[in-house]
């Protein structure tokens, strides 16, 4: 089975991209915790953080850091939640960092998180555009 995120990186699978450079691709999660939930993936296929080359860690987390600032600014959130699974609970076996907008009282508790849905593709485009603009 081909890697879904590698398909998004290569452009064969569509995504709402918010950041695209030589190191990473960042795009909206299709099953977000909240609108503006972004996934940041290294372009090179690796499954877990320990597999990422040391030279790749800085560029990945520089982009995660920028998105941790941009996502709340774009969504009106008070802050962000940044997380990564390594194998356990990793729904796609390609390293990815979640950047999730957070607001006090948003209902996110523990690890039983409610998921939201975008109304449609137009709403996803609009949220992706706001995050790109905030970057």
**pLDDT recorded at residue 1:** 54
How does DSSP assign 74-126, residue by residue? HHT-SEEEEE--SSTT-SSSS--EEEEEE-TTS---TT-PPP---SSHHHHHH
Query: Looking up tokens 């995504």, which residue turns up?
Result: 15
Query: Is there a catalytic annotation at residue 23?
Result: no
pTM of structure: 0.86
Domains in the chain with CATH codes: 4-108+116-134 (3.30.428.10)
**pLDDT recorded at residue 88:** 84
CA distances from 94 to 40, 52, 118 (A): 10, 11, 24
Q: Which helix (H) or strand (E) holds 32?
A: none
Q: pLDDT for 78-135, tens place per residue?
A: 999 999 998 888 889 999 999 999 999 998 876 565 678 999 999 999 999 999 999 9
Catalytic residue among 16, 35, 37, 96: 96
**pLDDT recorded at residue 50:** 94
- Are the C-beta atoms of residues 39 and 19 closer than 8 Å to each other? no
* pLDDT greater at residue 109 or residue 29: 29
Q: Give the separation between CA 39 and CA 17, rounded to whole angstroms.
A: 10
**pLDDT recorded at residue 13:** 96
Mean pLDDT, residues 38-50 taken together: 97
- Are the C-beta atoms of residues 84 and 48 closer than 8 Å to each other? no
Confidence tier at 55 by pLDDT (50, 70, 90): very high
Q: What angle do CA 97, 102, 108 make, to 5 degrees?
A: 90
Please, what is the average pLDDT of the chain? 93
* pLDDT greater at residue 38 or residue 89: 38
CA distances from 98 to 1, 31, 68, 95 (A): 23, 12, 10, 10
C-alpha 77, offset from chain centre: 16
């Amino acid at each position: 089975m081909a890697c879904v995120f590698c398909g998004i990186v290569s452009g064969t699978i569509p995504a709402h991209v918010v950041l695209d450079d030589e190191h990473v691709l960042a795009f909206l999660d299709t099953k977000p915790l909240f609108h503006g939930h972004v996934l940041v993936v290294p372009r090179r296929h690796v499954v877990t953080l320990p597999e990422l080359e040391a030279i790749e860690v800085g560029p990945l987390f520089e982009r995660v850091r920028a998105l941790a600032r941009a996502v709340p600014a774009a969504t009106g959130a008070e802050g962000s939640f940044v997380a990564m699974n390594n194998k356990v609970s990793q729904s796609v076996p390609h390293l990815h960092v979640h950047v999730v907008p957070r607001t006090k009282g948003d209902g996110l508790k523990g690890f039983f998180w409610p998921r939201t849905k975008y109304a449609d593709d137009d709403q996803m485009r609009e949220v992706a555009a706001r995050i790109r603009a905030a970057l």
